[in-house]
């Protein structure tokens, strides 16, 4: 989904630019102000409550806004995307929007802010007052609205600056010129869209094989922390000395070391179309870390694919792998294999619930040949690709 929030002070021209954006990108329009005015005109209980606040230049409660937006999202979640005009207006509403969008397994692509000075905003709104018939278009209310914007709404920019998806646009000039600047920012935002997959499953589920195939088909960067750690061991560095005991015993390597390796990999691929993560995250803490790492890049996890294999089959596979050159240190005995599987169940399995609340989680049967499993794995990957792009 392509989801845009159009931001700016009263009189910045958000309504005009919204119409152009909807036409160009086929977006579903959500303007809380328009919806509230409709409720006020109809004299509904919601409208009466909102009218007392809006007529004084204030902001309606978040409870009312959530009801309006959530209902609209549910009705139109099969659309190409949403355009938010007049929301979020506060720092808290920015968190609310993240939560509402995550419920339909999507997120905000970018926030476009139209920069217009106060004098121009006042001039435009007073001019509009001559023909609009809106009770909130008078000098006193306009002043209050601009003051409210400065005090409560501008901090929203910091929220999206930190997320890396804020795109400021000069809102002065002709409608055509402003729209052209917006489209330029949209092109940049769309070029940053990534498909990031967590390939999940117990040790022995065949994640490495499937992850490499997915990486090749979708041109993703394959990121396997286990292989990265093994490569580090071969360097005989100081870091390798710290890592070695954990690898041999099948215990988890400290997060500080893992994060360093992942940050390095991400920085080495600044224009990647996406990443496929195998072996990370392994704990809830690592899940939070990964979300933070990707958020700094202006992206997020797109989906999680869980490869399911019966426990007895996992033990057989790991035991067989222990007799090959591809064996892992914990493959040496049934005891160490069982210990590793138990650790996964205790430490790693809760991650499924964590991601199930935020992204699409797909469960795939991991039994059969490599090609048979891939036919099952690639289907949700293709669905995710369509949603992302």
List, by residue number, the catalytic residues: 14, 89, 128, 134, 145
Alpha helix ranges (H) inside the chain: 14-25, 32-42, 45-54, 62-75, 91-102, 118-132, 139-148, 155-163, 175-191, 207-218, 225-233, 238-249, 255-267, 284-296, 311-321, 334-343, 351-356, 370-388
Task: Sort 130 into a burial class: Cβ within 10 Å, 0-12 / 13-18 / 19+.
Answer: exposed
Sign of CA dihedral 324, 329, 333, 335: negative
Question: Locate tokens 């049934």: which residue?
Answer: 334
Q: Are 5 and 112 in contact (CB under 8 A)?
A: yes
Distance CA 233, CA 310 (A): 31
Q: Are 302 and 384 in contact (CB under 8 A)?
A: yes
Which DSSP string corresponds to 95-163?
HHHHHHHHTTT----EEEEEE--HHHHHHHHHHHHHHH--TT-SHHHHHHHHHHIIIIITHHHHHHHHH
Sign of CA dihedral 120, 122, 127, 128: positive
Distance CA 262, CA 278 (A): 12
- For the chain, the distance separating the N- and C-terminal CA atoms, rounded to the nearest angstrom, is 7
Could you tell me which of 31, 6, 9 has the C-alpha nearest to residue 115?
9
- 63: Cβ–Cβ under 8 A, 6 or more apart, which residues? none
Distance CA 81, CA 22 (A): 9
């Amino acid at each position: 989904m392509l989801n845009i929030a159009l931001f700016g002070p009263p009189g910045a021209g958000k309504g005009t630019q919204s119409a152009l954006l909807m036409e160009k990108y086929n977006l579903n329009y959500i303007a809380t102000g328009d919806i509230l005015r409709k409720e006020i005109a109809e004299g509904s209980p919601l409208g009466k409550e909102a009218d007392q606040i809006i007529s004084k230049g204030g902001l309606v409660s978040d409870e009312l806004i959530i009801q309006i937006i959530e209902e609209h999202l549910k009705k139109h979640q099969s659309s190409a995307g949403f355009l938010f005009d007049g929301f979020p207006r506060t720092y808290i509403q920015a968190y609310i929007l993240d939560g509402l969008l995550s419920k339909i397994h999507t997120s905000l692509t970018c926030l476009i802010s139209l920069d217009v000075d106060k004098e121009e905003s006042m001039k435009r709104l007073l001019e509009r007052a001559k023909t609009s018939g809106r009770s909130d278009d008078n000098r006193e209310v306009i002043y209050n609205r601009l003051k409210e914007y400065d005090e409560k709404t501008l901090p929203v920019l910091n929220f999206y600056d930190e997320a890396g998806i804020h795109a400021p646009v000069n809102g002065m000039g002709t409608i055509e010129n402003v729209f052209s600047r917006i489209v330029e920012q949209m092109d940049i935002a769309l070029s940053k869209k990534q498909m990031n997959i967590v390939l999940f499953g117990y040790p022995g589920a065949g994640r490495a094989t499937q992850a490499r195939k997915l990486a090749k088909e979708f041109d993703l960067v394959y990121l396997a922390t286990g292989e990265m750690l093994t490569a580090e061991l071969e360097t005989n560095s100081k870091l390798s000395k710290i890592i070695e005991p954990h690898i041999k015993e099948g215990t988890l390597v400290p997060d500080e070391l893992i994060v360093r390796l992942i940050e390095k990999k991400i920085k080495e691929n600044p224009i990647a179309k996406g990443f496929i993560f195998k072996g990370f995250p392994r704990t809830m803490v690592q899940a939070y870390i990964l979300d933070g790492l990707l958020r700094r890049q202006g992206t997020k996890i797109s989906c999680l694919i869980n490869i399911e294999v019966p426990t007895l089959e996992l033990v057989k596979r790991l035991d067989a792998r222990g007799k090959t050159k591809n064996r892992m240190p914990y493959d040496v005995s049934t005891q160490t294999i069982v210990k590793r599987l138990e650790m996964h169940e205790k430490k790693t399995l809760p991650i499924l619930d964590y991601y199930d609340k935020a992204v699409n989680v797909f469960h795939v049967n991991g039994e059969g040949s490599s090609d048979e499993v891939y036919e099952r794995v690639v289907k949700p990957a293709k669905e995710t690709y369509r949603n992302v792009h």
